[in-house]
């Protein structure tokens, strides 16, 4: 039962933050020139700050669950979640940075 709960946790976070394997991931679609999950008025600095906070929370949860030593499958699954989060957040941050650079250059 614990393994099923962990799998649901991983799938919930993966679905909400649009995590997937970087080897098969297509470029993130943008809506009107902005990355998904970003407010219209965010910049790369505030985006980086909050992504770091979210990643720290995910890391804390992964460490707590791994300390319970439920199974090797759970450890592997959580390690994959953390790797996907790092890559996914990097992609979001790059989109925020590019959007900010484009806005400054074009004056829009």
Question: For 5-14, how does the pLDDT look when each residue is reduced to its tens digit (9 = 90+)?
Answer: 888 888 877 7
- Residue 32 has a pLDDT of 47
In sequence order, the β-bridge partners of residue 31 are 34
Residue 33 confidence (pLDDT) above 60: no
Residue 34 backbone dihedrals phi, psi, to 5 degrees: -125, 150
Per-domain boundaries in the chain: 43-108
Percent of the chain whose pLDDT exceeds 90: 6
Other beta carbons less than 10 A from residue 41's beta carbon: 6
The mean predicted confidence, pLDDT, of the chain is: 76
* Report field, pTM of the whole predicted structure over 0.85: no
Q: Which residue has the tokens 């770091």?
A: 52
State the CB neighbour count (10 A cutoff) for residue 83.
13
pLDDT of 23 = 39
Tell me the pLDDT band of 104, cut-offs 50, 70 and 90.
low
**Residue 54, exposed/middle/buried by CB under 10 A (0-12, 13-18, 19+)?**
middle
Alpha-carbon dihedral angle through residues 42, 101, 18, 20, given to the nearest 10 degrees: -150
Show Cβ contacts of residue 70 under 8 Å, excluding neighbours closer than 6 positions.
2, 3, 6
């Amino acid at each position: 039962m614990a393994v099923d709960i962990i799998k649901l946790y991983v799938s919930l976070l993966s679905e909400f933050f649009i995590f997937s394997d970087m080897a098969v991931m297509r470029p993130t679609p943008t809506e009107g020139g902005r990355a998904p999950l970003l407010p219209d008025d965010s910049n790369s600095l505030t985006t980086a700050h909050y992504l770091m906070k979210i990643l720290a929370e995910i890391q804390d949860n992964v460490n707590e669950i791994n300390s319970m030593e439920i199974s090797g499958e759970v450890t592997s699954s959580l390690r994959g979640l953390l790797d996907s989060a790092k890559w996914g957040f990097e992609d979001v941050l790059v989109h925020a940075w590019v959007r900010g650079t484009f806005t400054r250059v074009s004056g829009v």
